[in-house]
Amino acid sequence: MGKGRRMKKQGPPAPLDESKITTAFKKRKAGDSESASKVTAVKKRRRSDADEEEAAPKKSALKKSKSNEKKKPVPMDSDSEDDMDDDEFDDLDGISEGSVDSQEGIGRLSDLEDDEDEVDDDSVMDSDDDDHPRETMFSDDEDLSDAEEKLTAANIEGLSRKLDAEKKLEEEEAEQEMQDAMQTNIAGDRPDVFADQTQPGLAPDLQLLRQRITDTIRILGDLKGLGQPGKSRADYVDLVLDDICTYYGYTRYLAEKLFNLFTPMEAFAFFEANETPRPVVIRTNTLRTNRRSLAQALINRGVVLEPVGKWSKVGLQVFESAVPLGATPEYLAGHYILQAASSFLPVMALAPQPNERVLDMAAAPGGKTTYMSALMRNTGCVIANDASKPRAKGLIGNIHRLGCKNTIVTNLDARTAFPKALGGFDRVLLDAPCTGTGVISKDAGVKTSKNERDFLAIPHMQRQLLLAAIDSVDHSSKTGGYLVYSTCSVTVEENEAVVQYVLRKRPNVKIVDTGLGDFGSPGFTSYMGKKFDAKMALTRRYFPHRENVDGFYVCKLKKTGPTPVAKPSDDDKTSTGSRPARRASAQGATTDEEIDKTPILNEDGTAPNLEGGAFGPFEEDEDAERIARAERNRLRRKGINPKGVLNKPKKAAKGQAQLNETADSNTAQEKTEEKEEKPVAEKTEKKEKKEKKEKKAKKAVK
Ligand SMILES: C[S@@+](CC[C@H](N)C(=O)[O-])C[C@H]1O[C@@H](n2cnc3c(N)ncnc32)[C@H](O)[C@@H]1O
């Protein structure tokens, strides 16, 4: 499967099978990928030239603008909106809608108002029966398909027949090549992957390394048949992990964590997918235009695109562009935003409705805020919060550019600000700061920058934020009462484990269907011996190698009852209380009068067991102890006696301080603001080493 072909469609793929993965093996044979993409680009160019000839009468108007333009691979100002520079947003501040009107192509754009009846109906709804997945939420998309298919046909006509034939041929060749390779490998009955490949003084031969990875993975799939006598599964896993680290450049810690999420074969496909960029996608801003008009305008500028897939009514996948997508008049006029396809999903799951009161807890740079605002048709109110001031500025830039008028930006730490400052929302989105293991193709730095400490500190912050999110929802909302938790990470610690934690702390929430249909895979219901809530299967996971989108996790929760008003001592940790209750307190009413005391029952009608922390505040000590335990284990693994290194009485407090600091800065999105902090034990180790050195030096002097 070539890169271009993989980018062509983003719909739900067939379940991953071995043949797909073996094709992936082929794709990244040393030096292949670049030439493959070039070939694809050339093919596309050829294809679109042919298209132009075929569709000549239809496209005479388009041809004029296109004839002298040579198609180029999508140039952009940034990979996606999530990665935009603040400067870029600042540049947009001075641009008014009026000023854009004088620019090229605006004749078409000014017609948009007449097209009101054609504006894509991109509204989304909650599932009627929360516990049972709806048939599909995408069926109404089909109404548009006629018009859009014509448009797409004008743009990418000819992609099909000729390409299909080429594709078939390529696939047959690939299959044959793979078969040949497998035969060669299998022929020497049990491949000896442990034979030393290194040549003294030379860097590892990447091709040999790659071959050994594929061999080892194959052996792991049939250890009995292909394994060497005396070698265990652990030996092979150890070897393949070492090779993965060398070949792809991961730390051993992260490679192992990611490897453990999949079968060895699938893990390889995941690591491979992280080496290639995901398709470029733009989201139509339906506050300003509709997808058809936008596509037409961009086609006129030489952009090759098509609808992203049946699952979205507003997404356009861009294959090639003669112009930078972050600088077209349509972009500047706010007709679209560069936004990764998977980041549409949390908003679609939340399904904000017109006139609701919605909170976006961690909103910058605003891809999801502005989508929510569009779904609400600029009615109601979206509170868009972000703890980072520079990022909040970018958020404001996007809100202005996209014409969102129902949005208020706040710059608060959502862990403590909500619901204290504001609460009682109909819906809350928590698109949490995370380690970014789902977006390694965009930020390869994640491969080496995320360590054990991050995987404790970041989930710690995520748990705090999610409790605050739950407490900010009005369970009695007539239209909502929902919240969505999402991350762009694929690790269990940041996803299912966080949700499991809040289910224990807040029996007044339950997991409901995301409404995202079959796209993606169900969340894990167990992992490494840990069992999660059975409904965790209703949460959705998205992977680069399965859906060809950024890795993402989406969980939708419904608040079923009030969060009791916090005890005064709890207030500073995590404030709680529903809007009616807090309003009552503010008005001097006794909370007894106002609080809905209807007991929250289990699904089977029995009373829940509230012992062991239910409705408790966020437990700092519990987490600090968790961190300290992990630190002790880490030291033991290194052969260091933790007792000698860690100062017991101080460690919890230090661990906590360290946690909070890390949580503030150490996110994938804020990597530029990251501070280098050394863990307590590391610092102590260094100090000890320094002292030893000094002693040695003194001895030497004597
Ligand atoms: C994944 S990004 C959000 C992306 C955004 N939802 C979008 O679609 O464009 C996470 C954001 O969380 C913010 N953040 C980190 N800690 C926070 C906190 N304690 N309170 C609020 N926001 C926080 C970061 O500044 C970052 O912008």
What's the sign of the alpha-carbon dihedral 294, 300, 306, 308?
negative
For the Cβ of 387 lying below 6 angstroms from any atom of ligand 1, the answer is yes
Split at pLDDT 50, 70, 90, the class of 643 is confident
For the Cβ of 436 lying below 6 angstroms from any atom of ligand 1, the answer is no
Split at pLDDT 50, 70, 90, the class of 577 is very low
Split at pLDDT 50, 70, 90, the class of 530 is very high
CA distances from 25 to 166, 424, 533 (A): 20, 51, 36
Three-class SS state of 72: coil
**Cα–Cα dist 81/315, whole Å:** 14
Report how far Cα 444 is from the mean position of its chain's Cα atoms.
Answer: 14
**Farthest-apart Cα atoms in the chain, separation:** 95
CATH of domain 344-598: 3.40.50.150
Question: 216-229 burial by CB neighbour count: b if 16+ within 10 A, else e?
Answer: bbbbbeeeeebbee
- Residue 322 counted as an annotated binding residue: no
In ligand 1, the atom with minimum distance to the C-alpha of 343 is 8
**Triad 399, 400, 404: Cα angle to 5°:** 55
For the Cβ of 433 lying below 6 angstroms from any atom of ligand 1, the answer is yes
Three-class SS state of 69: coil
**Cα–Cα dist 282/80, whole Å:** 9
For the Cβ of 284 lying below 6 angstroms from any atom of ligand 1, the answer is no
In ligand 1, the atom with minimum distance to the C-alpha of 415 is 19
Q: Which two tokens stand for residue 71?
A: 């198609």
* pLDDT value at 238 more than 50: yes
The segment with the largest mean pLDDT, out of 142-151, 421-430, 679-688, is: 421-430
For the Cβ of 460 lying below 6 angstroms from any atom of ligand 1, the answer is no
**Cα–Cα dist 515/558, whole Å:** 13
Q: Which of 245, 434, 488, 555 is catalytic?
A: 488
599 burial (CB, 10 Å; 0-12 / 13-18 / 19+) is exposed
* pLDDT value at 437 more than 80: yes
Strands 336-338 and 280-284: antiparallel
* pLDDT value at 679 more than 60: no
Q: Which two tokens stand for residue 168?
A: 């078939």
Q: Which two tokens stand for residue 558?
A: 């419904």
Question: 587-597 burial by CB neighbour count: b if 16+ within 10 A, else e?
Answer: eeeeeeebbee
For the Cβ of 366 lying below 6 angstroms from any atom of ligand 1, the answer is yes
Can you give the pLDDT at residue 677? 28
Can you give the pLDDT at residue 694? 78
Q: Whose CA is nearest to atom 10 of ligand 1?
A: 433
**Cα–Cα dist 606/599, whole Å:** 10
Q: Are 551 and 439 in contact (CB under 8 A)?
A: yes
* pLDDT 10s digits, 595-635: 344 444 455 555 545 444 445 555 666 667 767 777 777 77
Three-class SS state of 560: coil
CA of 542 to the centre of ligand 1 (A): 20
More confident residue, 512 or 55: 512
Mean of the per-residue pLDDT values of the chain: 73
Give the range among 59-63, 250-254, 685-689 with minimum mean pLDDT.
59-63
Can you give the pLDDT at residue 74? 65
Kindly state the DSSP code that residue 73 receives in the 8-state scheme: B
* pLDDT 10s digits, 258-286: 999 999 999 999 999 999 999 999 999 99
Residue count of the chain, please give it.
Answer: 702
CA of 352 to the centre of ligand 1 (A): 19
Give the range among 171-175, 232-236, 309-313, 521-525 with minimum mean pLDDT.
171-175
Q: What integer is the mean pLDDT of 137-146?
A: 40
Residues 6+ apart with CB under 8 A from 200: none
* pLDDT value at 499 more than 70: yes
In ligand 1, the atom with minimum distance to the C-alpha of 368 is 8
Q: Whose CA is nearest to atom 19 of ligand 1?
A: 413
Q: Whose CA is nearest to atom 23 of ligand 1?
A: 387
Three-class SS state of 430: strand
Instruction: Verify whether residue 245 is a known catalytic residue.
Output: no
CA of 364 to the centre of ligand 1 (A): 6
**Cα–Cα dist 438/549, whole Å:** 9
Q: Are 403 and 285 in contact (CB under 8 A)?
A: yes
Axis-axis angle for helices 233-248, 264-273 (nearest 10)? 0
Hey, what's the torsion of the CAs at 14, 20, 21, 23, to 10 degrees? -160
**Which residue matches tokens 């001097």?**
588
Q: Of 572, 598, 596, give the one whose Cα is nearest residue 584.
A: 596
Can you give the pLDDT at residue 224? 86
Split at pLDDT 50, 70, 90, the class of 166 is confident
For the Cβ of 642 lying below 6 angstroms from any atom of ligand 1, the answer is no
CA distances from 280 to 25, 85, 255 (A): 23, 18, 27
CA distances from 224 to 192, 214, 263, 356 (A): 14, 17, 17, 59
What's the half-sphere exposure (Cβ side, CA atoms, 13 Å) at 356?
A: 28
Q: Whose CA is nearest to atom 1 of ligand 1?
A: 433
Can you give the pLDDT at residue 606? 58
* pLDDT 10s digits, 445-460: 999 999 999 999 999 9
Mutate to test the pocket of ligand 1, among 463, 483, 669 (most ligand atoms within 8 A of CB): 669
Q: Are 627 and 659 in contact (CB under 8 A)?
A: yes
Q: Of 324, 344, 217, give the one whose Cα is nearest residue 270.
A: 217
More confident residue, 236 or 158: 236
Measured distance between the N- and C-terminal CA atoms of the chain, rounded to whole angstroms:
70
- Residue 663 counted as an annotated binding residue: no
* pLDDT 10s digits, 176-196: 765 555 555 544 567 777 777
CA of 414 to the centre of ligand 1 (A): 9
Can you give the pLDDT at residue 442? 96
* pLDDT value at 52 more than 50: no
The segment with the largest mean pLDDT, out of 87-101, 221-235, 469-483, is: 469-483
Q: Which two tokens stand for residue 575?
A: 């404030």
CA of 629 to the centre of ligand 1 (A): 28
For the Cβ of 287 lying below 6 angstroms from any atom of ligand 1, the answer is no
Q: Whose CA is nearest to atom 6 of ligand 1?
A: 363
- Residue 56 counted as an annotated binding residue: no
Hey, what's the torsion of the CAs at 45, 47, 50, 52, to 10 degrees? -70
CA of 603 to the centre of ligand 1 (A): 33
Helices and strands (H and E) in the chain: how many: 30, 15
Q: What integer is the mean pLDDT of 544-562?
A: 96
* pLDDT value at 158 more than 50: no
Q: Provide the residue ranges of all domains of the chain, joining segments of one domain with +.
A: 68-152+279-337, 344-598, 621-701
For the Cβ of 662 lying below 6 angstroms from any atom of ligand 1, the answer is no
Q: Are 325 and 75 in contact (CB under 8 A)?
A: yes
- Residue 386 counted as an annotated binding residue: yes
Q: Whose CA is nearest to atom 2 of ligand 1?
A: 433
For the Cβ of 171 lying below 6 angstroms from any atom of ligand 1, the answer is no
Return the H-helix or E-strand segment holding 101: helix 97-101
Can you give the pLDDT at residue 301? 96
CATH of domain 68-152+279-337: 3.30.70.1170
**Cα–Cα dist 537/285, whole Å:** 32
Residues 6+ apart with CB under 8 A from 239: 193, 194, 212, 216
Q: Are 462 and 431 in contact (CB under 8 A)?
A: no
Q: Which two tokens stand for residue 521?
A: 């895979």
Hey, what's the torsion of the CAs at 690, 692, 697, 698, to 10 degrees? 120
Report how far Cα 619 is from the mean position of its chain's Cα atoms.
Answer: 27
CA of 623 to the centre of ligand 1 (A): 21
Split at pLDDT 50, 70, 90, the class of 112 is very low
* pLDDT value at 233 more than 50: yes
The pTM assigned to this predicted structure is 0.69
Three-class SS state of 482: strand
Can you give the pLDDT at residue 636? 78
Can you give the pLDDT at residue 98? 31
Q: What percent of the chain has pLDDT above 70?
A: 58
Split at pLDDT 50, 70, 90, the class of 148 is low
* pLDDT value at 639 more than 80: no
Q: What is this model's ipTM?
A: 1.00
More confident residue, 619 or 57: 619
- Residue 141 counted as an annotated binding residue: no
CA distances from 554 to 222, 243, 393 (A): 34, 32, 26
Q: What integer is the mean pLDDT of 657-662?
A: 47
Q: What percent of the chain has pLDDT above 90?
A: 48
CA of 387 to the centre of ligand 1 (A): 7
Q: Of 539, 550, 507, give the one whose Cα is nearest residue 83.
A: 550
- Residue 413 counted as an annotated binding residue: yes
Q: Of 434, 424, 430, give the one whose Cα is nearest residue 386.
A: 430
The segment with the largest mean pLDDT, out of 211-215, 625-629, 665-669, is: 211-215
For the Cβ of 392 lying below 6 angstroms from any atom of ligand 1, the answer is no
Q: Of 372, 477, 469, give the one whose Cα is nearest residue 430.
A: 469
